[in-house]
Amino acid sequence: METPDQRLNLLDYDFSDRHQGKERKNLRETDSKDGDQAPITQLQPITPRAGFTLPVFACAGAIAALRHLLDQQSLLLDVEPGVRTSSPSLIQGEASDNVTLNLVEPAESATIPIEQLACLSATSALAITRSDPGDNLDLTRNTPIWSQVELNLAGQNEPFVIAGGEGIGKQLERDGQAAIYSYAQRLLRSNLLPLLPSGMKLKVTITLPEGQALALRTSNAAFGVVDGLSLLGTSGIAQPLSAPGQLEEFREQLRAKAVNYDSLVFCMGENGLALAPALGLAPERLVKTANWLGPLLAEAGLLGVKQILLLGYHGKLIKLAAGIFHTHHHVADGRMETLCAIAASQSLPHPLLQQLLDSPTVEAGLGLLREAESVRSVYEAIAQRIDRRATDYIRKQSEASVAVGSALFDRQRQMIVKSAISEQIWLSLTKAGE
């Protein structure tokens, strides 16, 4: 008979070894002579490695390019503490292929390798870095980032300009403006302006040569970003939320919450965590799950949790309706097929079903359902199915009976649907907070 801890170890293996086999070994070994199974062994949790977000690599390249260009012009300036570059021609005694920069958020420095560096002309230079998101399942891993700097361009009025080159997405809602968001802009300004000689003007252009191809594998278009990737994020650190080792940290957080509460709110990401308090849900009951819903649902059952409210973006939670309990796209998808199948169960016309199946994202599918005034029937069926599949999953994995209710919101954080069970759980949670 497996103990609860052993059962969860097997659950962890099922999700992680499938796509990162180097992280785990088989938990059961069979003796070839008699077929007996060796006891299940406990594995030491693997600490996941954090990495950096795309803006950090873009900024490091820009620093290297600017310093190199100024050096070639014999205008090299002293660098403020926390922002320094290393090159034999610039600073002796350091490695020749690194740049150290201030991350701004958080207030610490990072050292980034520079892969290639060259002057393109007397007023322009280019540096190339390569993305390292750490132990995350991130499609930008190893993608090159080109950072070009140009000084005193004719016709440039502003002293500092940031532009998006090929592979940087365009924001449809902002007349095609480059998808370089506030953190990336602050990072570039904070690190580059102290290096710029007085009276000079600087233009920085960030290019992602693989960005347009990679964007086809994302849902960027549903969020109004086309033709490339975004330089987004609120921090320079890429936390390894999708790495198998991160699961243990989430388990510890869940265990701490379950000591004090038997009704909890599972939020898959930052959108849910930000939305929940605004909707009257107590922050101390919130549990972040990232993509690890399956193991954490099972663990909640083993810990004696009685009620779980699943609050999440519909494009993620819909996977549970299909029985997919690890929601990272590297593991499984099937979102459009699930949406189409459930819409068919509600007797929607065939032409609309075909449109749903052909939709690029669930957000686009939701738009079609809104036009057809069919959102309520389809999404109520989705929510009911999520509730049932999640409850059955917990019972199967932990032999516990837990009430699970789901609440789904869209990309504007507007609620689409609450299941009947989630309404009951929601009421009990808000009453408990009074």
Sign of CA dihedral 334, 307, 272, 268: negative
Mean per-residue pLDDT for 37-45? 48
Per-residue pLDDT at 243: 57
pTM score, whole prediction: 0.59
Q: Minimal CA–CA distance to 183: which of 35, 29, 54?
A: 54
pLDDT, tens digit, 9 for 90 and up, residues 305-364: 999 999 999 999 999 999 988 877 667 788 999 999 999 999 999 999 999 999 988 988
Beta-carbon contacts of 233 under 8 Å, excluding residues fewer than 6 positions away, are 53, 54, 55, 181, 183, 184
pLDDT, tens digit, 9 for 90 and up, residues 356-403: 999 988 988 999 999 999 999 999 999 999 999 999 999 998 989 999
Beta-carbon contacts of 109 under 8 Å, excluding residues fewer than 6 positions away, are 82, 100, 101, 102, 103
Residue 10 lies in a domain: no
Same domain, 85 and 209: yes
Last residue of a domain, one of 194, 212, 238: 238
Distance, CA of 424 to CA of 309 (rounded, Å): 10
Same domain, 171 and 294: no
Same domain, 166 and 253: no
Same domain, 212 and 350: no
Share of the chain above pLDDT 90, in %: 62
Residue 219, H or E segment = none
Same domain, 228 and 321: no
Same domain, 118 and 175: yes
Question: Do 191 and 329 meet the contact criterion of CB atoms below 8 Å apart?
Answer: no
Residue 201 lies in a domain: yes
Same domain, 302 and 395: yes
Confidence of residue 78 (pLDDT cuts 50, 70, 90): very low
Same domain, 64 and 192: yes
Looking at the predicted structure, is the pLDDT value of residue 267 above 60? yes
CATH number at residue 209: 3.30.2110.10
Same domain, 352 and 422: yes
Retrieve residue 71's tokens: 């050096």
Same domain, 140 and 257: no
What's the one-letter identity of residue 233?
A: G
Print the domain residue range for 343: 246-432
Looking at the predicted structure, is the pLDDT value of residue 20 above 70? no
Residue 2, H or E segment = none
Confidence of residue 23 (pLDDT cuts 50, 70, 90): very low
User: What's the number of domains the chain is made of?
Assistant: 2
Residue 9 lies in a domain: no
Residue 109 lies in a domain: yes
Q: Minimal CA–CA distance to 179: which of 139, 129, 223, 141?
A: 223
CA angle (62, 63, 66) in 5-degree steps = 80
139 forms beta bridges with none
Residue 398 lies in a domain: yes
Distance, CA of 22 to CA of 17 (rounded, Å): 7
Per-residue pLDDT at 275: 92
Per-residue pLDDT at 414: 93
Per-residue pLDDT at 247: 79
Question: Do 257 and 285 meet the contact criterion of CB atoms below 8 Å apart?
Answer: yes
Confidence of residue 220 (pLDDT cuts 50, 70, 90): confident
Residue 18 lies in a domain: no
Per-residue pLDDT at 37: 47
Retrieve residue 15's tokens: 């999700």
Question: Do 33 and 222 meet the contact criterion of CB atoms below 8 Å apart?
Answer: no
Last residue of a domain, one of 207, 238, 269: 238
Distance, CA of 135 to CA of 175 (rounded, Å): 35
Residue 253 lies in a domain: yes
Residue 221 lies in a domain: yes
Rounded to the nearest 5 percent, the helix, strand and coil shares of the chain are 40, 20, 40
Distance, CA of 13 to CA of 123 (rounded, Å): 54
Same domain, 200 and 336: no
Looking at the predicted structure, is the pLDDT value of residue 171 above 80? yes
Q: Minimal CA–CA distance to 402: which of 414, 411, 393, 415?
A: 393
SS3 356: helix
164 forms beta bridges with 206
Q: Which residue has the tokens 């309706």?
A: 321
Distance, CA of 362 to CA of 222 (rounded, Å): 8
Return the DSSP state at 307: E
CB-based burial label for 380 (10 Å; 0-12, 13-18, 19+): middle
Mean per-residue pLDDT for 8-34? 36
Looking at the predicted structure, is the pLDDT value of residue 417 above 60? yes
Last residue of a domain, one of 217, 238, 259: 238
Same domain, 291 and 426: yes
Retrieve residue 288's tokens: 């972040």
119 forms beta bridges with 125
